[in-house]
Each structure stands twice: as structure tokens, then as C-alpha cells.
Amino acid sequence: MSELLLSVDKVTAGYAQDIDVLRDVSLDVHAGEISGLIGLNGAGKSTVVKTICGFLSPKAGGIRFMGQDIAGVAPHKLIDHGICCIPQESSLFPYLTVEENLLLPLQGRSGRYGSVVKQRYEEALEAFPTVREKRRAQAGDLSGGQQKQVEFAKAWLQQPKMCLIDEPSIGLSPKLAEGVFDWIEKFAKAGMGILLIDHNVRRVVKMSDRIHVLSLGRITASGRQEDFQGDLHEQVKQWLGLNF
């Protein structure tokens, strides 16, 4: 069995003291595997990511990464623990160049011009030709699809143990979206654990090793990919209203 990286154990969280968006949510992410989190809009999927990343504090339950409690870790410190997040909205600084955006997270960790940074940077440019072409451009001048590629190149540069990816295909053409999904699979093959959220439920089910279904803030079904093949779990079909 692959190494357990992330363990979310019976987490309850919300944006107001008396309103719980998540209720007793439990899920795992393993090294080299994709864990897909699916659910309707408003189910609480992005809230799960925000809670793991430290933007929300759990009211109950625990969040552990490689056995260490990370519930109190500040969001900007997560990369020091080996955790990276590719958010739904762009996290790039629009007036910095693509190159500056790529290298910014590595400064102070392995040196601005250290050999490790140079090697990773060349790997990222080789893996993402569009990023190489646009590396001198301001990030704000790039299209949505190009900015998404920069986000993935930035994550590749950081070489995290786990990557949280929230709605990577939203707003992209089918061709660009398929390329994004290919890169997610490449990340997993490189040994990263992936927690993936995307509105394309069919694609998430197809590419995930483990699948968690979130409904109204609760996990209503979990299992390996084979548990969701053929006739999709009846409970999932009913509340998602899908016909696979």
C-alpha cells in the first residue's frame, strides 16, 4: 500500500461560529495517488481545501500530514511541510513576470540562483513549453489557460509531496482542460499525492485512485476507483443526478 500522506479525521468547520459547512469529514491522500473529491456546487468541496490549507480552523476533528498535526500551520508555511495548492483562481502576481512568479516560492529555501533552483527551473521549462515561451511576459498578460500552466509549472518547481488542486479545468477549452488533467496524472506518477476537485465528475472518477463524495458538508460515499465503475454507486447517482 502506498504511503499515507494526508489524513483528515472527522473535521467540522465553517465560516461562522454557529454555521458548520463541513460536518465530520474524513478522507485520505496517499503518495503517488489521486484522491478525487466530487459533489454538487455548494457541497463544501472548496471549504475542504481551505480548511486543509489553514484558511479555516477546524472546530472539531484533526488534520495530519505524514503523522504531524498541521491544523495550526499558516497557509504560507505549508510548502515547508511539502504541501502545495493550485487554487481555482489565479494565485500569480500579475505585474511580475512569469519567471519571477515561478522562482518566488523558492527564494530563501534553496537560494535564488542555487543549483537546485536552476535544475528545477529548467525541468519546468522543458515540461511546459508555453511557459518557456512566455517566461519574460507579465503574468497578468497571459490567457487563463496559460496562467493555469504557469500554476502547474510553479507546483512542479516546488516538488511537493502533496498537491491540492481545486477546479483546474474551469473556464478552459476541452483541449486545454484535457492537457491539465494529463499534467495531474504526471504529478501523481512522479510520486505526489493529489487531492483533486473538479466539476467534471466523469473525468475525476476516471482518473482517481480513491474517490470521496461530498454532499451538504458530509462524506456520503468513499472507495477505490473500482467501486465507482460500471453502475456508479447508487447513492452518488441519485443526488448528483448523473447518468454515466
* Residue 209 DSSP one-character state: S
Sign of CA dihedral 99, 104, 110, 113: positive
With CA atoms as reference, report the closest residue to 26 among 162, 195, 163, 218.
218
Q: What is the DSSP string of 220-231?
A: EEEEEGGGGSSS
What is the average pLDDT value for the chain, to the nearest integer? 87
The CA distance from 115 to 95, in Å, is 27
Q: What residues pair up with 210 in beta bridges, in sequence order? A: 35, 224
Residues 6+ apart with CB under 8 A from 94: 138, 139, 140
Predicted confidence band of residue 110 (pLDDT cuts 50, 70, 90): low
- CB 217, CB 22: distance < 8 Å: yes
- Per-domain residue ranges for the chain? 1-82+161-244, 90-159
| 132-181 pLDDT tens trace | 999 999 999 999 889 999 999 999 988 899 999 999 998 888 888 898 99
CA distances from 242 to 39, 198, 233 (A): 11, 15, 11
Least confident of 32-41, 120-129, 208-217: 120-129
> Are the C-beta atoms of residues 86 and 164 closer than 8 Å to each other?
yes
Displacement of CA 34 from its chain's centroid (Å): 10
For the question of whether the overall pTM of this predicted structure is more than 0.85, the answer is yes
* CATH fold group of domain 1-82+161-244: Rossmann fold (3.40.50)
